[in-house]
Amino acid sequence: MIDRRTFLTAAGTITVGMLAAGCTRTSAPGEVRLWGFGGAEADVQQEVIDAFLDSYPDVTVRQRMTPASEPGDATYAITAVRGGTAPDLWAMDRFTTAQYAALGLVEPLDDLIAEESPGFEDDWAAFAMDELRYDGHVFGLPFDTDTRGLFYNKATFRQAGLDPDELDPANGPITVARVLELNEVLAEVDGRGNYTRFGLIPWDAQGSALTWMVGRGVEFYNRATGKIQLTSPDVIDVLEQLQAWAQEWSFPRIEAFKATYQPPNSPPAQTSFFGGQQAMVVDASILIQNIRNYAPDLDFGVTYLPVWEPGDDVYTWSGGFSLVAPTGSTLSPAVWELMKYFCGGAGQSIAMNPLAKIPTHLATLAAYEPPGKEEAFMASLLDYSISRPPLPVGQLFSDALGDAQESVLIGSATPREAAEAAQARVQPQLALFEDFELPEGYGEPGL
């Protein structure tokens, strides 16, 4: 059995000692090198840094906008750490943190946290902190988060003779069975049998197998056995449901529908939901900002994710980013102060509304004033949310589940075959981390 901090690549084996080789930082005293968010988020990040520098004028922050990781590939991070070019702080998707910690690519923060007042870690939502724990250590501080809900186009409902108020969240969650009934009314085809309008495509956007499995209460990891559970009855049942829907509605026709009204690489304003061809979509809270920016006249609503049976618990799941310290970071007082400021109440108060994100810092969340009722509703869903399991093979788990979904949709495998293939792909890699345990309390919904 190899040590859990050993990383296997196609080219060979890279150990933690090798990863750390040559990674001495050259940051000057009082200097912090930060690799942050790119795109539209860069301006907001700069606002946070400028506010920090007002309070810490003796600190210099040198930043560049660099992606935290390439999905499924740690080569970028390995190269930066080994070559001594990684920054002091790095904006990273929390879901990948356990994996990067297992590879020895990020520094534990336990010694710095120990110097803070008791209960320091309790200042953030528990699920967000759990994503940053691995092997009994903490490897970062949480920044933003999100939730997932069912968005609906009210105008499209009315065009089909349906009352959109049925989906008002005041009525509680709609059932999957009722969504299917609505689909029967909303679906419209032309003379050649092509869809020109549809209801909910269960595998579209954030409506993945993972989301529906969360609704089933699937426990992806068995604490007693230390094994992944991708062949459980509930996992297979969800895959069976997806396959049945794909067959009933014709997966190729649905794909043609999406390609017609929302082709690949289309501008953000061109979506089948914004255009009214698709009446419902499961998506994350960031969709609200996209609506404000690109479809400001859209008459829409958002409600709870559909439940499988009447009376089932409300559910959702959340992701988000964090700041971590790559291996070899100076972890100087300036680095730690910027990390605390950026991810704490000060930074989150500046950044959350402009970024259309939800705070993870609990005091900031308590004082959070969403810009609209839809944003307020999505923030309220945190009371029911969990995160994806923070596994040292998290990306592999995500990829395997996605491939299982794709296999059943296109009909290349039965649901059981797809589940067994995912299990066979993930478990042997997870077994390399023989002492791995999920953080205590992981999987309990809420803050």
In this prediction, residue 42 has a pLDDT band, given cuts at 50, 70 and 90, of: confident
User: If you average pLDDT over residues 31-41, what whole number do you get?
Assistant: 83
- Check pLDDT > 60 for residue 27: no
| pLDDT for position 331 | 94
Asked whether the predicted pLDDT for residue 24 surpasses 60, the reply is no
Average pLDDT score over residue span 169-189: 97
User: What is the tens place of the pLDDT at every residue in 309-321?
Assistant: 999 999 999 999 9
Instruction: Please determine, for residue 347, whether its predicted confidence score (pLDDT) is greater than 90.
Output: yes
Q: 28 pLDDT band (50/70/90 cuts)?
A: low
For residues 15-43, give the mean pLDDT: 65
Q: What is the pTM of this model?
A: 0.91
Walk me through the domains of the chain, giving residue ranges and CATH numbers.
7-146+319-387 (3.40.190.10), 148-317 (3.40.190.10)
Look at residue 26 in the predicted model and tell me its pLDDT: 53
Q: For residue 67, what pLDDT is reported? A: 52
Contact indicator for 317, 148 with CB cutoff of 8 Å: yes
Q: Quick check: 348 pLDDT over 60? A: yes
pLDDT in tens, 213-249: 999 999 999 999 999 999 999 999 999 999 999 999 9
Q: Looking at residue 25, what is its pLDDT?
A: 53
In tens, the pLDDT along 380-436 reads 999 999 999 999 999 999 999 999 999 999 999 999 999 999 999 999 999 999 889
Identify the pLDDT of residue 303: 98
Report the C-alpha gap between 340 and 329 in whole angstroms.
15
Provide the percentage of residues in the chain whose pLDDT is more than 90.
81
State the pLDDT confidence band at 37, using cuts at 50, 70 and 90. Answer: confident
Dihedrals φ, ψ of 23, to 5°?
A: -105, 25
